[in-house]
Amino acid sequence: MKLGLYGGSFDPVHLGHLLVAQAAGEEFGLDRLCFIPAAQSPFKPGNEPAPAKTRLQMLRLALAGMPRYEVDAQETLRGGVSYTIDTVRDYRRRFPKAQLYWLIGADHVAKLPLWRDAKELAQSVEFLVIPRPGEPSIPFPAPFRGEMLKGFPLAVSSSKIRARVKAGLPVDLLTGSAVAEAIRANRLYL
């Protein structure tokens, strides 16, 4: 099983997060992607996010009807500063045969050696890097490994949506739920 893990504050979750999740799933054939909101980021000590309960509620609303995505509240339940390695160890224990991918913003790649138990983290997951528009890609510091997401094309057109429907790929985030449901109900573009 290929399991994507997407940590962050999600304060609030937005379309960019959802498009990144969709791109990661499609580009790397993820079977499932878990959104894991942090209780408190170690890199933002003075920045207190909105209450965990509220951020979890927003994530659940944003992901409603998307069965390949789920919300994992473990970091908010643990409380305190959230460290990626603690969450990765939990997934390793629960899914020992899974291939784990951790989604990370490009701005964090150079800082990976500073993350808690960095060597173990580097051996446990492959990183999928979310590029920043207009910024060059940064090479992974040893021993970390991963790949850059190509991302979802921003130039969306009707012909691209039709092609996605025909290929069996979701269009809900591109058209809105009601339109996507109408396409499915009427079996259009198949």
DSSP labels for 83-135? -HHHHHHHHHHH-TTPEEEEEEEGGGGGGGGGSTTHHHHHHH-EEEEEPPTT-
- Higher per-residue pLDDT: 48 or 84: 84
Residue pair 44/16 in contact (Cβ under 8 Å)? The answer is no
Residue 14 has phi, psi (to 5 degrees) of -145, 175
Per-residue pLDDT band at 153 (split at 50, 70, 90): very low
Residues of the chain with CATH 3.40.50.620: 2-152
* Single pTM value for the model: 0.82
Per-residue pLDDT band at 43 (split at 50, 70, 90): confident
**Average pLDDT of the residues of the chain:** 88
CATH classification number, 2-152, choose in 2.60.40.3120, 3.40.50.11140, 1.10.8.290, 3.40.50.620: 3.40.50.620
Distance separating alpha carbons of residues 40 and 82, to the nearest angstrom: 6
